[in-house]
Amino acid sequence: MELRHLRHFLAVADELHMGRAAAQLGMAQPPLSQSIARLEKDLGVRLFERANRRLALTRAGAAFVPEAREAVRHADAALALARASGDGEAGEVRLGFVSAALYEHLPRLLTRLRQALPGVRPKLTELSTNDQIAALADGRIDIGFAHPPFATRDRLDVVEFAADEMIAVMPDDGCTERLSLAEIAARGLILFPQAQGPVLHAHIMDAFARAGVALDPPQESTRALTMLALVSAGLGVTLLPRSTRRIGYEGVRYVPIADATLPPMVLAMIARARPQPPIVRRVWRLFAER
């Protein structure tokens, strides 16, 4: 049983007239009659009664109509999806991201994606920068949102977003307007592990050293929400990008740093510099639009 036989059957079932059905299908009547006969042979039942040069659905034919319509509908949908996927307008795109991407850029880009390419389904996985580099290398993600610089020999396509100033996040004491590095050190620093961002980590530690501030080993956390929870519990002060203020976390205050300018946190979109499937190329171009 072929899909074309189902289309022929539905046309005849709608018209109950071979000539009109053949005209609707843009084919001659004899091949249409042969197609219906072949379908009846495949099914082992008669679909139409033929009497006095008139057609009528048999009981089996009437029962077969809704199932045939559903089969044709599914086939048409699958065909449309396959064509859209080939053009990059539908399918799945796998995105890796660091938590900082959630504060501003990634939600905006996902809204743009939903509006421009509704057939594309983003699959998101939170990964550190180094884990994203590995995931790009072995094909587990298509596009990443990570913090440069990138420790890899692979050639990458890179689009950088505006740098985000680093600020302090402290327990909400209701009064402090700014914090000095010495005050941060006295309260205890909560920071991401060195391996998660070695360059930025080194710059932050160097800022304390240049200011002559002795700093105990920081309490480490890999996730911004965990850092905020530790701060809210009074366990120290953390340093996060200014856009983190969008998170209305109870019990914390976002304050500028009084006596130092820490390096900004840069977010970049990355992908392997190689021919990509159409869907990845489309999403990349859409995200890269300013």
CATH classification of the domain holding 136: 3.40.190.10
- Strands across the sheet containing 156-160: 119-126, 90-97, 143-146, 268-272, 156-160
pTM: 0.66
Task: Count up the domains in the chain and report the number.
Answer: 3
In a domain, 262, yes or no: no
Same domain (yes/no): 158, 272: yes
Judge whether 199 and 228 are in contact, CB under 8 Å.
no
Q: Is the pLDDT of residue 87 over 70?
A: no
Same domain (yes/no): 114, 231: no
- The boundaries of the domain holding residue 72 are 3-86
Q: In sequence order, what are the beta bridge partners of 56? A: 49
Same domain (yes/no): 172, 144: no
Confidence at 88, pLDDT banded by 50, 70, 90: low
Per-residue pLDDT, 224: 87
Kindly state the percentage of the chain with pLDDT values over 70: 97
**Out of 14-18, 85-89, 205-209, 280-284, least confident range:** 85-89
Same domain (yes/no): 123, 95: yes
Q: Provide the mean pLDDT of the chain.
A: 89
Residue 140's Cβ-count burial label (10 Å; 0-12, 13-18, 19+) is middle
In a domain, 230, yes or no: yes
Judge whether 131 and 96 are in contact, CB under 8 Å.
yes
Same domain (yes/no): 172, 206: yes
Q: In sequence order, what are the beta bridge partners of 97? A: 126, 145
Strands 189-191 and 237-241, by their bridges, are: parallel
In a domain, 200, yes or no: yes
In a domain, 56, yes or no: yes
Question: Final residue of a domain: which of 37, 60, 86?
Answer: 86
Round to whole Å and give the CA distance between 201 and 129.
13
Helix (H) or strand (E) holding 91: strand 90-97
